[in-house]
Amino acid sequence: MLIRNCWYVAGWSHQFEAGKPTQRMLLGEPVVIWRTQEGALVAMEDRCVHRLAPLSLGRIEGNAIRCLYHGLLFDADGRCREIPGQDAIPDSACVRTYPAVERNNWIWVWMGDPDRADPSRIAPSKALDDPAWVLKTGELHYRAHYSLINDNLLDLTHLAYVHAASFGADEAWSRNRPRVEPIAEGVRSSRWIVGTPPTPPLGKAAEHERVDIWTSYDFVLPGVFLLYSALFPTGSAEAFGYDAPPAHAPSLFANFTSQAVTPTSESTTSYYFSWGPAAEHGDEAMAQAMIDVAIMAFNEDKTMIEAQQRIIDTDPGRRVMPTSADKAITLFTRLMQSQDG
C-alpha cells in the first residue's frame, strides 16, 4: 500500500542544482525536479506528453523546461508553450505537476490531490544549520518495501541484536518496553534505559561507566523518524519519576536525528538521514564520527531488511506474529490503513 496524500522527502536541497533537472522515482512514478531561474522549485511528471521521453534529460530555459527529444517547451505549471514547427498547441499538451516545498534542507513532494497539499503537515525535521545541533547527513537506497523500514524504526528492540557492533547497544534495549502513545499523524515512543553503558559513549558521558539514557521519538506519516536522545548520570531516571527529563535538565550528552523513508516503488525505498550532537556537547569532528557509526548501523539494518524482504517474497501470504514490542508498529499500521490512499 502506498499512500498518496502525504509529503515525501525526495532528497537533499543541495542535490537539486539550478539549471540541472534531476529525476527521482516516487511511489513508482518518474518525477523531474528542477529550479526556475528565480530558484523556485518545480516537481513534474518526468514524461513528455509528446512521445513520453524523460524531461529530466531536458534543458532549463528561464522558467521553462525543454524536452531535448523533439524540443517541446513546458512552463513551470506544466503547460506546453512551444512545439517547434507547429503553431497550434493542444490543450492536452500539459504535464502533471506536483506541489513541492523546500524545508529544513529536504525537498518535500506531495504525490496526492494537490488541493490537499498543506505545508503545515510537513514533519518538523531539524535544519542542518540549526544552531542547537551539529548535524551530518547520509542516505541509503533499499531493495525492500518501505513498510519494512518503517517497522524497523518503530521498534528499537532490534538495537540489541542488529546494532551491538555499531551502536554498542546492550540487551536492555530488547527487554525494555517504551511508552507508546498516538500523536497527530503518528506515534511517540519514549523510554528510559537505566544503568546501561553510555550509547554513544561521547562527551561527558564517556567519563561514566553507566548512565541513564532517555530516548524519545516521533514517527509520523508517511515515514519520518525524529529522535532525541540524552544521557544522564545514573539515578536521573528515578529522580525524574521515569518521565521525560525537564526541558533544562543538563545532560551529559544529547543528540538528535531526523530520518525519512520514501518509497521509490512498491519494492524499492530511499532513506535520508541526519544525525549529530547538541552544539553544546560536540563539534564537527564528533558529528562526523557519529554519522560514520550511524551509516555503519543503517547498513546493518539494510542487510537484515533486504534479507527479510527476500524471505517474504518466497511466500508473500505468510502472516507475521506480533509481540509486545510491536505496539508502535500496530498503531502506525492502523494509522496508515486509515489514510485514503
Shortest Cβ 72–ligand FES spacing (Å)? 4
Contact between 30 and ligand FES per CB under 6 A: no
Contact between 64 and ligand FES per CB under 6 A: no
When the beta carbons of 71 and 195 are compared against ligand FES, the nearer one is 71
Within 70-89, the residues that bind ligand FES by CB under 6 A are 70-72
Pair 189, 154: CB distance under 8 Å: yes
Q: Which of 67, 80, 109, 260 is in the footprint of ligand FES by CB under 6 A?
A: 67
Shortest Cβ 50–ligand FES spacing (Å)? 3
3-class state of residue 307 by DSSP:
helix
When the beta carbons of 56 and 125 are compared against ligand FES, the nearer one is 56
Within 84-113, the residues that bind ligand FES by CB under 6 A are none
Residue 301's binding partner out of ligand FES, Fe ion, none, with CB under 5 to 8 Å set by partner kind: Fe ion
Q: How far is CA 177 from the centre of its chain?
A: 24
When the beta carbons of 45 and 300 are compared against ligand FES, the nearer one is 45
Stretch that binds ligand FES, among 65-73, 125-133, 185-193, 326-334 (CB under 6 A): 65-73
CA dist list (Å): 262 to 46, 173, 341:
18, 26, 15
Residue 89's binding partner out of Fe ion, ligand FES, none, with CB under 5 to 8 Å set by partner kind: none
**Among 222, 279, 238, 322, residue whose Cα is nearest residue 10:** 222
When the beta carbons of 215 and 236 are compared against Fe ion, the nearer one is 215
d(CA 300, CA 271): 14
d(CA 201, CA 220): 28
* CA angle (103, 2, 156) in 5-degree steps: 70
Residue 213's binding partner out of Fe ion, ligand FES, none, with CB under 5 to 8 Å set by partner kind: none
Contact between 51 and ligand FES per CB under 6 A: yes
111 CB-contact burial (10 Å; exposed 0-12 / middle 13-18 / buried 19+): buried
Helical (H) or strand (E) element with 305: helix 284-314
Residue 316 backbone class (left: φ over 0; alpha: ψ -120 to 50; beta: rest): alpha
Contact between 301 and Fe ion per CB under 5 A: yes
Shortest Cβ 273–Fe ion spacing (Å)? 11
